[in-house]
Amino acid sequence: MSSAPAPQRRRITILGSTGSIGCNTLDVMAHLGGSTAFEVPAITGMSNIELLAQQARTVGAGFAATADERRYNDLKSALSGSGIEIGAGPSALIEAAERDTDLLMAGIVGIAGLAPTLAAVAKGADIALANKECLVSAGDLFGAAMAIGGGRLLPVDSEHNAIFQVLDQHQRHAVERIILTASGGPVRNHTREQMARVTPESAANHPNWSMGLKISIDSASMFNKALEMIEARHLFNMRPEQIEVIVHPQSVVHSMVGYSDGSVLAQLGTPDMRTAIGYAISHPRRASLPVERLDLAKLARLDFIAPDETRFPALALARIAMQRGGLQGAALNGAKEAALDAFISGRIGFLEMADVVAMVMDRLDDGRGAGSIEDVYAADSEAREIAATLMRKSA
């Protein structure tokens, strides 16, 4: 008697498995059947070797890589006897991304995620994209690479995932605008004078989503929303004027699409990244997930407030970057990273972050486009250097 062939497991590689997105992805996969449903060709992390090794053993990863070259031996001893192949450094990240897979979760934070994600794109894998910096800094390049690679691009950022859920692909001509919601963060009601005195600790105290320090501060300054406007432009092929932002303190409406008949379609849910991750990795099916259900009666109300761009200049900077195009997204992101580091270490104030970014963008506004990934990394470094020089001068 011959037994039926085992059903094929879906292959999912996770870049940045030790981060918030990575851990949530593994959690979603565990709920959707774990190793009976999924195979994990590769996972990557950086400094948390213990967690990386533990994850690799739990899911039986084929390959585990740390971005930090110096941690090769640590990872080797942590995985000794497991049979899991290991690697370290930037080339190991590329190797992880290039291993055969059905879908790659791009969960690395920052521009460091660009090269490995593009390597997976070139291999034709479907890409679940959390790493927004890929599109902010290299949107045109990324879009062209996706078209050649032939994989699907599945947004994970909650706002973009929401839009993806309600964007009718058969009615693209009828899409007038997309409306990104922003919580407004902990300084939403501050005056400019109060904002000038905000500390990294108070800025990071996000009311709805639990996230890392940097992304929480980016939410408070609305630089996160600025990045998301540029991300949305590239993901959904929108003109800058079609992208709106509305402050919505409850973070229940995750974003909306406005159509030519006046309809506005929204996706709602409790703030839990696992919904977006589950949707992206299960698409076109819907997963069954243990996230808290929305209790609308308990919620009672949803508020919407127009954003104040004099207090949140990051939004205007995103629009300028979109209008100028080329490498302005890379300039905005690189300068923002440098300014954010300076704010965290107490060298500049909360409001000065936007001033630095604006000056760097003007300095790099020379019409240059991104011909290659090297151009993007060069613009990113240049933006950081100019920002550092400006901040030294003003100190």
Applying CB under 6 A, the residues found at the interface with ligand NAD are 16-22, 45-46, 67, 107-110, 112, 130-133, 157-158, 209, 211-212, 215, 273
In the complex with ligand NAD, which residue's Cβ is closer, 52 or 390? 52
Query: Alpha carbon 57 to chain centroid distance?
Result: 26
Cβ closest to ligand NAD, residue 337 vs residue 382: 337
Q: Are 64 and 13 in contact (CB under 8 A)?
A: no
Confirm if 384 and 337 have CB atoms less than 8 A apart: yes
130 binding partner (options Mg ion, ligand NAD, none; Cβ < 5 to 8 Å by kind): ligand NAD
Minimum distance from CB of 394 to ligand NAD (Å)? 28
Task: Show the beta-strand stretches assigned E in the chain.
Answer: 10-15, 38-39, 42-45, 63-66, 85-88, 103-106, 126-129, 153-155, 175-182, 243-247, 253-259, 264-268
Binding at 195: pick from ligand NAD, Mg ion, none (beta carbon under 5-8 Å per type): none
In the bound complex, what is the minimum distance in angstroms from residue 227's beta carbon to ligand NAD?
A: 7
Task: Output the residue with the shortest Cβ distance to Mg ion.
Answer: 157
* Residue 183 binding result from ligand NAD, Mg ion, none, given CB thresholds of 5 to 8 Å by partner type: none
Q: How far apart are CA 110 and CA 79, in angstroms?
A: 27
Would you say 91 or 394 has its CB closer to ligand NAD?
91
Closest CA to 216 of 232, 229, 231, 199: 199
Which one of ligand NAD, Mg ion, none interacts with residue 43, CB within 5 to 8 A by kind? none
Q: Which residues pair with 38 in a beta bridge?
A: 10
Which amino acid would we find at residue 288?
Answer: S
List C-alpha distances in Å: 284 to 146, 164, 203, 355. 19, 11, 37, 43
In angstroms, give the least distance from the CB of 194 to ligand NAD.
Answer: 26
Tell me the C-alpha distance between 352 and 387, whole Å. Answer: 11
Q: In angstroms, what is the minimal distance from the CB of 322 to Mg ion?
A: 17
- Does 380 interact with Mg ion (rule: CB under 5 A)? no
- Which CB sits closer to ligand NAD, 241 or 374? 374
If contact means CB under 5 to 8 A according to the sort of partner, which of ligand NAD, Mg ion, none does residue 273 touch?
Answer: ligand NAD
| Distance between start and end Cα atoms, the chain | 79
Applying CB under 5 A, does 157 fall inside the site for Mg ion?
yes
Q: Which residues sit at the interface with Mg ion, rule CB under 5 A?
A: 157-159
